């Protein structure tokens, strides 16, 4: 007997295929703090990192060491000051930062070297490399404060990193930089990650944090266009969000902030349509636009279930291709999840709203409202004063949005002649003027 979970696994695996193909050969910069590396869940995260590498993703892993340095300073009863969120790195703090970087590197390399039988990393054969890829310079004296050995990124050897990625290696970078004079500087992992992602023109910057990004009410945030992310930052400033915004501003298409405590968060975020974390994108991840001929397949897949149950009038592919310019679609990460059509009757300054459909997964999420607003905008732009719709099952939805019940006689003559009395559709009209 087939297990109940087997069809779910097959379906999930098949649905992940477009993302596997899309991510192959792409470059991701993955960032995690020292507390993440020290956490017992990090071994599972490493398994997911190994899987990404196996699937052909080029990976740069940037780790922090802030928690380890703070613990070392406390153990030594050494004072350390943080000014405006930046540590003043004295000689003792620098020594601890170097020690922490070495220990964390050893732990990461050890975990990435696992390959025992019956483990997720069996036969993975992952190679890890590091080096002096980051050139740094001192922060210097700011506001009367000498930051000593605290530095900032001056230059990234992106060619050297690309050469290692081309060999199939994971590049591991600590929060340290080196100067042409042989000095070592303590850097923030965010500075390193953003600089490296920008220099490499990385496809993604992924930040593993200890908590999800939330709004003022504590609700998790998901899709954030850059402008909205900046608004959120004004009310909820975090180093991770600031780094994501900066990376997007400097050319990285998408940045993700994930809660590392969630098992499999990395895979869920990258290989499902909706993900599980917050995604800051330079351009809109989801958009409403006028449909093109390339959208015919997606629209047909969306409306066919509604045609079968009688909600929508059946349309052939040929008819849909001819009428495609009348359609608007909601596109989410390359998939069509909503559609609506506007058939204008310009001599009568009227238009028919038809074929309003939303993917069942995204119903009750406001997409249909946005589609309606878009269609109304199209109609006004074309000089249409009235919209009408014929419906058998969703009259209440249209009434709630400003449509009124009407008689068949109020339709334009040509549309009355095409009325299907067998369907007995209700007529609803909305004035746009």
What distance in Å separates the CA atoms of residue 283 and residue 280, rounded to the nearest whole number?
Answer: 9
What distance in Å separates the CA atoms of residue 136 and residue 186, rounded to the nearest whole number?
Answer: 9
| pLDDT tens figures, 113-149 | 886 555 666 666 789 999 999 999 999 888 888 889 9
| Dihedral sign for Cα atoms in the order 283, 285, 286, 290 | positive
402 has a pLDDT exceeding 80: yes
Q: What is the mean predicted confidence (pLDDT) over 197-209? A: 96
Q: Read off the pLDDT band of 274 (50, 70, 90).
A: confident
Of all residues in the chain, the percent with pLDDT exceeding 90 is 64
| pLDDT tens figures, 78-97 | 877 888 778 899 999 999 99
Which residue, among 193, 197, 195, 214, has the nearest Cα to 259 in the 3D structure?
Answer: 214
What distance in Å separates the CA atoms of residue 27 and residue 198, rounded to the nearest whole number?
Answer: 11
| pLDDT at res. 119 | 62
More confident residue, 64 or 232: 64
Could you say which architecture CATH assigns to the domain 287-431?
3-Layer(aba) Sandwich (3.40)
Name beta bridge partners: 289: 329
403 has a pLDDT exceeding 50: yes
Going from N- to C-terminal start, the domains of the chain cover 17-284, 287-431
The pair phi, psi for residue 114, each rounded to 5°, is -60, 145
Mean pLDDT of the chain: 90
Length of the chain: 433
| pLDDT at res. 103 | 95
| pLDDT at res. 2 | 47
Contacts (Cβ under 8 Å, ≥6 apart) of 145: 83, 88
| pLDDT tens figures, 329-381 | 999 878 899 999 999 999 999 999 999 999 988 877 778 988 999 999 999 99
In CATH terms, the fold of domain 17-284 is Carbamate kinase (3.40.1160)
| pLDDT at res. 3 | 53
What distance in Å separates the CA atoms of residue 75 and residue 58, rounded to the nearest whole number?
Answer: 38
| pLDDT at res. 122 | 64
Check: pTM over 0.85? Answer yes or no. Answer: no
Lowest-confidence region among 110-119, 216-225, 303-312, 395-404: 110-119
What distance in Å separates the CA atoms of residue 37 and residue 104, rounded to the nearest whole number?
Answer: 7
Decide if 17-284 and 287-431 have a common fold. Answer: no
């Amino acid at each position: 007997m087939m297990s109940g979970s087997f069809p779910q696994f097959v379906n999930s695996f098949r649905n992940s295929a477009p993302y596997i193909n899309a991510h192959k050969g792409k470059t991701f910069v993955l960032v995690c703090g020292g507390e993440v590396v020290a956490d017992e869940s990090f071994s599972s995260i490493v398994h997911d990192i190994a899987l990404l590498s196996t699937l052909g993703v080029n990976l740069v892993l940037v780790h922090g060491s802030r928690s380890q340095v703070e613990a070392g300073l406390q153990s030594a009863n050494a004072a350390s000051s943080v000014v405006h969120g930046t540590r003043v790195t004295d000689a003792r703090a620098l020594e601890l930062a170097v020690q922490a970087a070495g220990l964390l590197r050893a732990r990461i390399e050890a975990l990435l070297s696992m390959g025992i039988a019956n483990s997720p990393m069996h036969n993975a054969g992952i190679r890890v490399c590091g080096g002096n890829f980051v050139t740094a310079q001192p922060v210097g004296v700011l506001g009367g404060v000498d930051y000593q050995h605290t530095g900032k990124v001056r230059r990234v050897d992106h060619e050297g990193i690309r050469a290692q990625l081309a060999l199939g290696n994971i590049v591991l970078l600590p929060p340290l930089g080196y100067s042409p004079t042989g000095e070592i500087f303590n850097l923030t992992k965010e500075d390193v990650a953003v600089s490296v992602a920008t220099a490499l023109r990385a496809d993604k910057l992924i930040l593993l944090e200890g908590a999800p990004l939330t709004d003022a009410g504590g609700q998790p945030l998901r899709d954030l266009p850059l402008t909205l992310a900046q608004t959120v930052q004004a009310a909820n400033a975090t180093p991770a969000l600031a780094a994501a915004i900066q990376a997007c501003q400097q050319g990285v298409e998408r940045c993700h902030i994930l809660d590392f405590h969630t098992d499999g968060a990395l895979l869920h975020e990258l290989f499902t349509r909706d993900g599980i974390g917050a995604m800051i994108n330079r351009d809109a991840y989801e958009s409403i636009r006028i449909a093109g001929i390339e959208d015919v397949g997606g629209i047909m897949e969306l409306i066919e279930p509604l045609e079968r149950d009688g909600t929508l009038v059946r349309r052939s592919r040929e008819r849909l291709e001819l009428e495609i310019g009348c359609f608007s679609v909601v596109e989410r990460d390359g998939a069509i999840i909503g559609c609506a059509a506007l058939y204008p009757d310009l001599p009568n300054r009227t238009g028919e709203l038809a074929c309003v459909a939303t993917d069942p997964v995204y119903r009750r999420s406001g997409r249909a409202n946005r589609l309606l607003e878009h269609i109304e905008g199209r109609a006004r732009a074309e000089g249409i004063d009235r919209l009408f719709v014929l419906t058998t099952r969703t009259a209440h939805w249209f009434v709630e949005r400003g449509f009124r019940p009407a008689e068949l006689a109020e339709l334009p003559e040509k549309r009355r002649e095409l009325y299907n009395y067998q369907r007995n559709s209700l007529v609803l009209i909305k004035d746009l003027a």
